[in-house]
Amino acid sequence: MKLVWFRNDLRTGDHHALYHACQDNRGEGVLAVAALTPHQWILQDEAKSRVQFWLANLAPLKTELQALNIPLLILQVESNQQLPAEMLALAQKHKVTGLYFNREYPEYERIRDRSVKQLFEKQSIPCLSYESDLIIAPGTVLNKQGGAYKVFTPFSRAWRQQFLTQLPQPLPVPEVQNLVAVNSSLIPKSIPYELRSGADWSERLWPAGSEAAHQRLYRFISSAVGRYSVERDLPACTATSSLSPYLSQGVITARQSITALNSFSDDPDWFESQWMTELIWREFYRHLLVQYPEMNRWKPFKPEVEKRLEWSQDEKLFLAWSRGETGFAIVDAGMKQLLQTGWMHNRLRMITASFLTKILRQDWRLGARFFMQHLIDGDFASNIGGWQWSASVGADAAPYFRIFNPTRQAERFDNRGEYTARWLPELAGLSATEQHNLKVLQQRGGLLPIVDYQQERQHSLAIYNRGKG
Ligand SMILES: Cc1cc2nc3c(=O)[nH]c(=O)nc-3n(C[C@H](O)[C@H](O)[C@H](O)COP(=O)(O)OP(=O)(O)OC[C@H]3O[C@@H](n4cnc5c(N)ncnc54)[C@H](O)[C@@H]3O)c2cc1C
């Protein structure tokens, strides 16, 4: 019997490990397992909403697997340390002859997989791992010198070329297997351990399961993808796909998304579209994680830039930022969206991250951990990549020290103040300019700014330039 280990790949379609286990099992049947590791979740800063959503996605997965005669077992262990032995015991109990899983890229996951593989292979049970999450394997998109790309645009060009050469297609759902005499486990509704505060997963906002993910994808492609390049930066519009929680837990794949884009979009230039580019950003950050392992250890991609900066350790400033109480309306609105829903619009992720690192001069690692602890789509590679980029210490960072002015950003991307008013109702009815006007803020009972923007901006630039000299 073959055993398939499900992690952040909670689907049956386009699942390489499942597909190959079903092909290899010669009628002996296939078993599936998902491991709950609460201590690991805490250690790796997983948000409450993310864990809840992951658990919720197990139920539709179990149903999909049942239709294939594959029982889903649940293994409960404290952390990755106990996992190899417990997984082996489960495999031996069921006389498993092969363990199948899809690769994951962050170092914690790679160390976990290596330990499991070593233990299994000592017992002569082969472990087979597959590339399924990424469309193009890390380490294969290389520049002319055979090195990894450090800048996004040439990477995306080379990536697109490889895509056209390989024309990757999603794998189908495997065929129904011979029944095995094992019952599926009950899926716990919640995990009895102290989860951090933060938003609960909302079934209304993020219905669980692949079917819901595919419906969302088709709705986006048929109605919004045409407006994406114009509206994706306007947080008051629902112009982006909001597929990130599904992509980060592998409920749907980027390959399936691109295939659907090709099949259902009216845009003849779909291949060069901005939405496709965003999916390539996702690949870029995963490639970087594999090729620059230091990033896994919270080291900046550009240590030479970080050396020029001075992080101030001011708990009061960090707390104000994390609670959405900075007095900068657009920043606070973004943080309220995160705290109340577990998700934040991309433009706001950039504005809030720039504000924390460039105006409050707090270490980007603090912000990145806080995001991971609160995001339903928390994803190590994209989060570290996004934070390092925002702090100017990452790959593809601008050659100058870019500081987002929150007031200008609000005027540009939320000029009627709609997004801000949604999350700060006390400011409803005010334009972006008014929302940042001190007098109006005082009248409306809004918070006053915790720092002087221009002064802090000058100070940050001076530090950066001094370091340069
Ligand atoms: C500081 C910071 C932290 C971030 N943390 C995360 C994170 O933890 N998890 C996460 O999935 N994304 C993260 N992002 C990227 C981006 O903000 C989200 O992917 C996006 O907002 C999700 O919304 P959507 O699904 O509607 O995206 P769409 O605009 O519809 O894009 C489609 C998909 O492409 C991918 N994508 C889009 N933009 C990016 C990007 N800049 N980098 C990498 N992938 C991208 C996502 O998988 C997304 O679902 C971060 C960005 C920043 C600036």
**Which CATH number belongs to the domain containing residue 231 in this structure?**
1.25.40.80
pLDDT tens digits, residue range 309-361? 999 989 999 999 999 999 999 999 999 999 999 999 999 999 999 999 999 99
* Residue 155, domain extent: 134-170+210-291
Within this chain, do residues 52 and 103 fall inside the same structural domain, yes or no?
Answer: yes
Flag whether 191 is in a domain.
Answer: no
Within this chain, do residues 324 and 337 fall inside the same structural domain, yes or no?
Answer: yes
Which pLDDT band holds residue 445 (cuts at 50, 70, 90)? confident
Which amino acid type is present at position 394? G
DSSP helix/strand/coil, 98: strand
pLDDT tens digits, residue range 75-96? 999 999 999 999 999 999 999 9
CA atoms of 158 and 382, how far apart (whole Å): 20
**Mutation test residue for ligand 1: of 156, 346, 387, the one with most atoms within 8 Å of CB:** 346
Which amino acid type is present at position 14? D
Query: How close are the terminal C-alpha atoms of the chain, in Å?
Result: 64
Ligand 1 pocket check for 240: Cβ under 6 Å: yes
Flag whether 296 is in a domain.
Answer: no
Structural domain total, the chain: 3
Flag whether 225 is in a domain.
Answer: yes
Q: To the nearest whole percent, how much of the chain has pLDDT over 90?
A: 89
Flag whether 297 is in a domain.
Answer: no
Ligand 1 pocket check for 350: Cβ under 6 Å: yes
Distance of CA 312 from the midpoint of ligand 1 (Å):
28
- Specify which residues 76 forms β-bridges with: 36
Distance of CA 29 from the midpoint of ligand 1 (Å):
38
Flag whether 176 is in a domain.
Answer: no
CA atoms of 248 and 254, how far apart (whole Å): 10
Within this chain, do residues 77 and 166 fall inside the same structural domain, yes or no?
Answer: no
Determine the length of the chain: 469
Q: What is the dihedral of CA 434, 437, 442, 444, to 10 degrees?
A: 10
pLDDT tens digits, residue range 91-145? 999 999 999 999 999 999 999 999 999 999 999 999 999 999 999 999 999 999 9
The conformational region for residue 182 under phi > 0 = left, psi -120 to 50 = alpha, else beta, is beta
Which amino acid type is present at position 60? P
Ligand 1 pocket check for 281: Cβ under 6 Å: yes
